[in-house]
Structures are given as C-alpha cells and as structure tokens.
C-alpha cells in the first residue's frame, strides 16, 4: 500500500474554493506538469523534491496532501484489516500523536470519530487530544477550522466514498497559511493565503510565475482577466508599486513584498519565524534534497534583486501599523514595506511620475466590510472617500478590493469587475478590480 522511496507521489495541493486556477497557475509556473484541477485543489504527481518545493513556494495552497493508501471499508473489520497493511512508520515519527480529518459519503461507515480511533490504533499512535473537530471535518479538503492545538501530530485526511477509503498524509503539518512571521494581528486579519490569491489574481509578480505581460499558456493576453485567472499588469522591467491603505496587520503588503522580492512565503528573518513542514519528520525524508531546494531560494532572491519595488501600507489605527512593522521585520521584508499611520483620506501615492505602460501599480486592499469590524461610522461614506481619493490622486493605478458586499463597494464609484470569488472565514467574498484609473473613472 505504501510507496517506495523516490517514486512519484500522488498529491493534492489544497486551496479554498475559487482559488483553484490560481494554485494551478502556481504549480504550472514551477514546471509541474500533469495537473488536474478539482474542487478545492489541484491533483498532481510530484517527486519528493517537487513536494518539498511545493510546500516551500506555493503561496495560495492551504496544504499539500500525499496519497498513502486506498482500500475498501465495508465495516470496521475491513477497515482494521486494511489499515493494518499501511506502512505507518513512514509517516508517523516515533512517539508522535496522530490526527485524522475524516469524511464519509454514501458509505456504511459514517461515525467519523470511531473511524479515526480505528486508524489511530492501526498506526499504533495516540489520537491527538482535541482532534475531534478536525476528525469531523466536512467534505471540503480545506479546513476553515484550525486543526487541533497542542503538541505536533502527524495529520491525515481519510475520505470515504462508496465504502472506499482514500488515506492521505499531510506533508505540510501546520497549514501553509501559518507563515511563521505573522505573530501580531490587528482587527479581522486576512489569511496570508487569501492575500496571496488576491495578488495572484491581479498578476502581481511572484517567484516562478510568468513576468507581467507574458501570460502563461492558456491565460488571456489582454483585457480583463477570466475569473480566478491571473490578470495582466505592466511589464517586469518597470516599477512595481503596491499600496494597501487599510493594511491592518500588513498581510497584503508583506505577501506582496515577499513575492516580488523572490522570497518563499513562510521563511522569516530569524529561525523562530521560519516555519517547518511535516515531511521533514517522515522516515524517508531526504535532508540533502531539502537543503538543495532551500538553497535555490538564494538564487531566486538574487534574480529578483533588481526589481524596482515600492510597497506602502497604511491604516488609521496605530496598533495596526505597529503590527505591520513587526510582522514585516519578522518576514525579512521590513526594509521593503513602508508602514504609515494614516487615514485613507490622507494617503498619497509614492513620489515619482504616475505609472506608465511598463509599470505595475496596484492598490490592493481589504477595506472594513461591516460584519467583521465595528466601523463606528457609515461604511458607505468610507467607500465613497476611498473612491474619491483613488480617482483624485492615483491616476494610472488600478484598484483591487476584497469585499463581502458588492453594493457597499459600489459606493466607491469605481468601475469594478470581479476577478476572484472565494470565501474568508466561511463567508463568500469577491475581489473586485478596476482598470487603470483616470480622473473620471
């Protein structure tokens, strides 16, 4: 049932619904072929080196699963018998706990907790305390709820459909949106993976992705992006400018700086701010391969060093600016993110001429949307102010805003169209974007 070392692994890169085409484009840009987009992720065959690289570099993925086994489970007896054939020692380090995200459809066995207990018994490892929530996960691979807290556990996903169980090991461990560098959060923080999806949807450059103006095969060359597809910006030879005037804890700005400077999303400035991955604990983990994959990051950093990059983040809340500054420093992009305490009504674009055709200039932001933040005022006025400031001072820029309420966004008066539709904290959200702004936009 288990694979041999060096084999290609049947994997599933997991993401929130709606983000699949962006994740697929990320995998394509990494040179990974034979991908199959499914709801909630991309199925892909990876060699171990590619699996390590996927965990290190993917910005929009929640986790990367590796298929361990598939077997029939007509009853608990067949479950126990078949689970006993799994080479658990490959995936579960000595002394580790285990946790299972179990779902069951159209099948006789549907008591997810009891299934998780049987699988844990077969693995010869204790079920992690508090793993019930994760074990009772729904049909989606992407868990909006966090996996259990406590000591690290080897995580598995067990999906039963028509009495057949597919068991996958989670190669990421902590979800990939836990970047390591984001320790301080302001109000209503975005998941970094969602911020990365917003940036990918507008075509903000990232390591391994096609340069602006050079669409990946199958991407639209001009005009509006297809929904969920990377948009086209300017040229990689021009200035790269990004402003987030509602920056909160700085998630969008920091993700933008990491991507455009060729840094992996979860690698911080200090060992404590750099995340680790579950595959590092697997029995056939190849430290030399992993060191080589990480070594490539140095080259990517050098390749991106010539970028003319400006990232500005502002917020009217001083605590948010303190969080942004601390997070950016931990992410090793403190020198790339200019964080300013300012209301949106007072913001200005970076000094210099307005963006030209070779420049990439985006305002990418996540304004308050009511439900998540007590606004203390009328949000319609805030959106109107935002729109006025954009038109008056940001000529030539484009705007992308993540909103939960399209009608509220319309108060900005900006000509908006949808570039991405996904969920945030279980709530449907849309990324609305403009073309280059003019005074009459």
Ligand X SMILES: C[S@@+](CC[C@H](N)C(=O)[O-])C[C@H]1O[C@@H](n2cnc3c(N)ncnc32)[C@H](O)[C@@H]1O
Distance between CA atoms of residues 141 and 123, nearest Å = 22
How is residue 145 written in tokens?
Answer: 């709820």
Residue 226 contacts residue 417 (beta carbons within 8 Å) = no
* Options 81, 113, 187, 341; binder of ligand X; rule CB under 6 A: 187
Of 49-57, 220-228, 248-256, 410-418, which part binds ligand X (CB under 6 A)? 248-256
Residue 62 contacts residue 155 (beta carbons within 8 Å) = no
Residue 322 binds to ligand X (criterion: CB under 6 A): no
Residue 3 or 316: the one with the smaller Cβ distance to ligand X is 316
Distance between CA atoms of residues 32 and 10, nearest Å = 13
Residue 264 binds to ligand X (criterion: CB under 6 A): no
* Options 32, 320, 331, 414; binder of ligand X; rule CB under 6 A: 320
- Residues in contact with ligand X, counted by CB under 6 A, come to a total of 22
The residues in 361-400 that bind ligand X, with binding defined as CB under 6 A, are 366-368, 373, 382
Residue 190 binds to ligand X (criterion: CB under 6 A): yes
Residue 55 contacts residue 64 (beta carbons within 8 Å) = yes
Residue 180 or 210: the one with the smaller Cβ distance to ligand X is 180
Task: Find the shortest distance in angstroms from Cβ 57 to ligand X.
Answer: 21
Of 64-72, 152-160, 286-294, 311-319, which part binds ligand X (CB under 6 A)? 311-319
Residue 265 binds to ligand X (criterion: CB under 6 A): no
* Options 189, 265, 268, 355; binder of ligand X; rule CB under 6 A: 189
* Options 248, 262, 268, 355; binder of ligand X; rule CB under 6 A: 248
Residue 242 binds to ligand X (criterion: CB under 6 A): no
Of 107-115, 167-175, 316-324, 428-436, which part binds ligand X (CB under 6 A)? 316-324
* Options 80, 317, 405, 418; binder of ligand X; rule CB under 6 A: 317
Residue 29 or 373: the one with the smaller Cβ distance to ligand X is 373
Of 25-33, 222-230, 243-251, 291-299, which part binds ligand X (CB under 6 A)? 243-251
Residue least distant from ligand X (Cβ): 248
Residue 83 or 333: the one with the smaller Cβ distance to ligand X is 333
Residue 215 binds to ligand X (criterion: CB under 6 A): no
Distance between CA atoms of residues 249 and 183, nearest Å = 9
Residue 97 or 430: the one with the smaller Cβ distance to ligand X is 430
How is residue 77 written in tokens?
Answer: 């007896």
Residue 288 or 376: the one with the smaller Cβ distance to ligand X is 376
Residue 3 binds to ligand X (criterion: CB under 6 A): no
Q: Element (H or E) spanning 148, and its range?
A: none
* Options 316, 341, 393, 421; binder of ligand X; rule CB under 6 A: 316
Residue 125 or 331: the one with the smaller Cβ distance to ligand X is 331
Residue 41 or 189: the one with the smaller Cβ distance to ligand X is 189
Task: Find the shortest distance in angstroms from Cβ 179 to ligand X.
Answer: 12
Residue 384 contacts residue 374 (beta carbons within 8 Å) = no
How is residue 60 written in tokens?
Answer: 């929009």
Burial classification of residue 278, based on how many CB atoms lie within 10 Å of its CB (0-12 exposed, 13-18 middle, 19 or more buried): buried
Question: What long-range pairs does 379-386 form, CB within 8 A, spacing at least 24?
Answer: 379/408, 379/411, 380/408, 380/411, 381/411, 382/344, 383/408, 383/409, 383/410, 383/411, 383/412, 384/411, 384/412, 384/413, 385/344, 385/345, 386/245, 386/344, 386/412
Residue 86 or 389: the one with the smaller Cβ distance to ligand X is 389
Task: Find the shortest distance in angstroms from Cβ 145 to ligand X.
Answer: 19
Q: Indicate the pairing of strand 308-315 with strand 153-161.
A: unpaired
Residue 257 contacts residue 309 (beta carbons within 8 Å) = yes
The residues in 331-350 that bind ligand X, with binding defined as CB under 6 A, are 343-344
Burial classification of residue 33, based on how many CB atoms lie within 10 Å of its CB (0-12 exposed, 13-18 middle, 19 or more buried): exposed
CA neighbor of 344 nearest in space, from 412, 281, 254, 440: 412
* Residues 6 or more apart in contact with residue 184 via CB below 8 angstroms: 249, 322, 323, 326, 327
The CA radius of gyration of the chain, in Å to the nearest whole number, is: 22
Residues that bind ligand X (CB under 6 A): 186-190, 245-246, 248-249, 251-252, 315-317, 320, 343-344, 366-368, 373, 382
């Amino acid at each position: 049932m288990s694979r041999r070392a060096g084999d290609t692994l049947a994997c599933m890169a997991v993401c929130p619904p709606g983000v699949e085409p962006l994740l697929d484009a990320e995998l394509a840009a990494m040179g990974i072929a034979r991908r199959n987009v499914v709801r909630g992720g991309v199925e892909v065959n990876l060699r171990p080196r590619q699996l390590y690289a996927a965990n290190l570099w993917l910005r929009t993925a929640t986790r990367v699963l590796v298929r361990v086994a598939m077997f029939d489970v007509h009853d608990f007896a067949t479950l126990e018998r078949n689970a006993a054939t799994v080479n658990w020692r490959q995936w579960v380090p000595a002394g580790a706990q285990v946790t299972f995200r179990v779902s069951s459809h159209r099948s006789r066995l549907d008591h997810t907790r009891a299934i998780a207990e049987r699988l844990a018994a077969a693995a010869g490892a204790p079920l992690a305390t508090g793993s019930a929530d994760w074990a009772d996960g729904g049909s989606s691979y992407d868990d909006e709820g966090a996996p259990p807290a406590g000591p690290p556990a080897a995580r598995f996903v067990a999906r039963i459909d028509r009495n057949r169980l597919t068991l996958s090991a989670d190669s990421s461990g902590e979800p990939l949106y836990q970047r390591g560098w984001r320790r301080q959060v302001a109000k209503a923080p975005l998941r970094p993976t969602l911020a990365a999806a917003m940036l990918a949807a507008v075509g903000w450059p990232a390591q391994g992705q096609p340069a602006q103006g050079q669409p990946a095969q199958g991407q639209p060359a001009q005009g509006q992006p297809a929904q969920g597809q990377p948009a086209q910006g300017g040229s990689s030879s021009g200035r790269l400018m990004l402003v987030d005037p509602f920056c909160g804890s700085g998630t969008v700005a920091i993700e933008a700086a990491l991507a455009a400077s060729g840094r992996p999303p979860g690698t911080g400035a200090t060992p404590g701010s750099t995340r680790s991955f579950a595959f590092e604990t697997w029995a056939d983990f190849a430290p030399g391969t992993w060191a080589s994959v990480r070594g490539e990051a140095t080259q990517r950093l050098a390749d991106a060093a010539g970028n003319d990059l400006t990232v500005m983040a502002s917020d009217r809340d001083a605590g948010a600016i303190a969080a942004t500054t601390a997070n950016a420093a931990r992410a090793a992009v403190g020198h790339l993110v200019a964080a300013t305490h300012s209301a949106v009504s007072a913001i200005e674009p970076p000094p210099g001429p307005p963006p030209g055709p070779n420049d990439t200039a985006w305002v990418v932001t996540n304004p308050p949307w009511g439900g998540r933040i007590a606004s203390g005022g009328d949000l319609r006025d805030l959106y109107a102010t935002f729109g006025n400031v954009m038109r008056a001072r940001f000529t030539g820029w484009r705007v992308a805003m993540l909103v939960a309420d399209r009608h509220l966004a319309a108060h900005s008066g900006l000509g908006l169209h949808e570039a991405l539709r996904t969920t945030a904290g279980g709530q449907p959200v849309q990324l609305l974007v403009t073309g280059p702004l003019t005074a009459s936009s």
